[in-house]
Chain A
């Protein structure tokens, strides 16, 4: 069995403790100033001001080389900063995608002019990204996308449509997965490329889509003969699929995959006080046992990523278990919290419960659906 999955135990190095203290100090200052009081769901917030303050601390793109504005800290140190911010409900949404995904992608596969132009701005918390993957007819089946870029003088002309693009209306750039060659029936993953698209370019229209909770996070993005300069191609044309799938370990195993409902747990504990009745204690304990386990698993994956190992399978395990827990937390807490509740009750816990129940459907869809993840795990088991 141990040869199917690997979850090496990890002890965080001492420098992580000092850093954790610094981050907690920063969060305490931020809270004292009353600037925010947020959800622990990374997708719930968008605060360029906060991103700027975080950038000033050196906590965006903190693993990147210093010449690109990074601090050359370890991946584990980044993990500590991220988990502290999420647990506190800090408004990380504006820089989230750029820090976690787009920046590392550009650093790894981009050219030097892209790196020099974009990465320092990301680290200052001034430059935000969105991910252009899904299309109206392409969700889990990503290779079926139809947005197309054709070569023109000096670059590419982009036509097509992206959907469910979180924060496209507030981001500066999109990394757009598109076809640069027509479909090869023998290998659907061929001919896909990634372009850095400036969202202020002529020919782009962005339409926010209201979600069931009434918020406008995601969007439909239409490209009509949009010109993208040739030096905005990431890697070589045709490398898109390889690049997209190479970073899944980072995207799927982080603390954002089990902490989205954390604020609800904290607010519920605030309500029940320090001497809870047995049912309340049991509910908290059940959630806590899962959270403690998932954090161990997630940290273990972070440690293996730090060592440069491939962890796509383990990351899928963490994301499936973690996002299931995120959805189960409101179900566990509502059963105990709803007992004897007065109809006009309104407090922070009620707010957090409402937010979590309404947003829970997205937890097991975004970033790879539960079914896709379980397919990856089944492949790891040798079943497909």
Chain B
């Protein structure tokens, strides 16, 4: 399927199956099993693992098209995590459980170690903010170029939630695990970058949804005898909002293209996570201001998107983390290397 067809199919599925009530229920702790079943039947969680070569990133465009739609509809599922987990397992030749999965660590500096125990391996240590840990059927860890599959029951998971009410659990583990070498070229740094890319793409989708909602509201809401969108003060803010949404969309797509083998993945992902994260804050701020009090209520669905933006921009590296990485990467090439870097990615 072409990317745009994948996007269309995914968009329709999420539009039909993710009403606001489902998002609220998921945030209250009900895992949306029927939605997961539909998503799984559509093959979405295998989008990344579908590539024939182990560890290949050829599936990134399809995966990204699906995640952009998941973000647009605030679909409360460990979809990015399961995609990455199945891709890691497939690359390592471990059979993946046919269920929601998650990956560890979701932080840059992982606190997990693998060590030999008799003929097998043990995974030990801690990892904070594990997405959907307790609601997953398997935790896939990548440590020192090795992939381990851990059953959540064998670990101690302290439940937590993100600003968006999505499960983010603290993992503490010392358990025997199944371990295989990761596919060539796959390591924890790459997985972290792909995690950051997933959040950039999900934010790009959510940002587009916020723009549509906010323009609609500005056209519908009447004050002083006319729609508030007719006031220049509102128009100027909405233009700024829209421009940031456009920038986020362009840079997220550029990073997807780079990650699927046509460019500098490390540079492109750092640029995308830093820039989209900045757009997320600005856009959410303006959207709430335009919506006024109604947008601050739990009843209105704007917060399904904005709380995800606030949460996702912090995950897999806050903007400043990626900015520092970019700055170091650029500085290492020297002042006169900056322009070739900008024109060469």
Contact = CB atoms under 8 A, between A and B. Distances in A.
Interface of A: 1-2, 4-5, 7, 9, 11, 20, 83, 87-88, 262, 265-267, 269-270, 272-276, 278, 280-286, 288-297, 300, 314, 317, 320-321, 371, 373-375, 377-378, 380-384
A3 B212 CA distance: 11
Contact of A9 (B239, B244, B253, B271): B253
Contacts of A11: 262
Nearest to A276: B331
Nearest to A80: B343
A276 B332 CA distance: 9
B219 interface: yes
A337 B235 CA distance: 36
A4 B326 CA distance: 31
Contacts of A300: 250
Give the most central of B238, B320, B335: most A CB within 10 Å.
B335
B247 A374 contact: no
9 contacts: A1-B209, A1-B212, A7-B250, A11-B262, A274-B334, A289-B270, A289-B323, A291-B342, A378-B236
B325 interface: yes
B254 A321 contact: no
Contacts, number: 172
A115 B345 CA distance: 39
For chain B, give the interface size range.
35 or more
Given A276-B331, A288-B327, A290-B275, A9 B232 contact: no
A275 B324 contact: no
A285 B326 CA distance: 5
Contacts of A87: 339, 342
Main secondary structure of the interface of A (DSSP, over half): helix
Contacts of B211: 1, 4
Given A5-B246, A20-B343, A282-B320, A375 B235 contact: yes
A281 B250 contact: no
A114 to B, nearest CB: 36
Nearest to A374: B239
A289 B238 contact: no
A7 B332 contact: no
Nearest to A40: B339
Contact of A276 (B239, B245, B327): B327
Given A9-B254, A317-B243, A375-B235, A276 B335 contact: no
Nearest to B218: A383
A293 B247 contact: yes
A300 B327 CA distance: 25
B38 interface: no
Contacts of A297: 246-247, 250
A378 B235 contact: yes
B330 interface: yes
Contacts of A280: 327, 331
A384 to B, nearest CB: 7
B338 interface: yes
- State the 7 A-B residue pairs at the shortest beta-carbon distance, nearest first: A281-B327, A285-B323, A285-B326, A285-B327, A374-B239, A378-B235, A1-B208
Given A275-B331, A293-B247, A382-B219, A288 B342 contact: yes
B335 to A, nearest CB: 4
A266 B230 CA distance: 42
B332 A274 contact: yes
Contact of B324 (A88, A281, A380, A383): A281
Contacts of A317: 242-243, 246
Contacts of B343: 20, 83, 295
Contacts of A320: 239-240, 243
B107 to A, nearest CB: 18
A382 B250 contact: no
A338 B219 CA distance: 46
A314 B331 CA distance: 32
Interface in B239-280: 239-240, 242-247, 249-251, 253-254, 257, 262, 267, 270-271, 274-275, 278
A266 to B, nearest CB: 5
Contact of B338 (A20, A269, A293, A378): A269
A276 B328 contact: yes
